[in-house]
Amino acid sequence: MNQALRSQVRTREGNRCEYCLIHQEHDSFFTFPIDHIVARQHGGDTTLGNLALSCFRCNSRKGPNIASIDPLSGRLTELYHPRRARWKHHFEWIGPMINGKTDVGRATVSLLAMNHPDIVLLRELLIEEGTFPPVVD
């Protein structure tokens, strides 16, 4: 992946993880990786339409997965696709917690461990500062 493409992905969504919405400046340890939404091993290509900025935590939990189990219904469902769907359609904030509103949202929250205690604690601090959550579509 060339540097221009990387830069486009980073700036497109304001240098935030497109899954949990944490900003790069809130993670001093890892430069956010670029996620292939549909992993290359499933035929996903390296183009803007298949790339998303992802924090290290979300990226490492997602891995090459493109589907998971909705914990409510127990059914197999696709994961959230940041290029094809709107965050607000599938997720909502309940305080510092991300709630999945749909089967896709619930499966993604679960697989990516989007409410791990460490990240919830960070969100609580950012909410106290008044810098989180961001307004998104």
- Judged by CB under 5 A, does residue 55 bind Zn ion? yes
Task: Yes or no: say if 25 and 15 are a contact pair by the CB < 8 Å rule.
Answer: yes
Residue 83: count of CB within 10 angstroms of its CB: 14
- Of these, 37, 38, 51, 58, which contacts Zn ion (CB under 5 A)? 58
Single out the segment in contact with Zn ion by CB under 5 A; choices: 12-20, 40-48, 73-81, 100-108. 12-20
Number of residues that bind Zn ion (CB under 5 A): 5
Task: Report which secondary-structure segment, H or E, holds 60.
Answer: helix 56-62
For 136, residues 6+ apart whose C-beta sits below 8 A from its C-beta are 21, 87, 88
Per-residue binder mask for Zn ion (CB under 5 A), 20-39, x = binder? x-------------------
- Judged by CB under 5 A, does residue 87 bind Zn ion? no
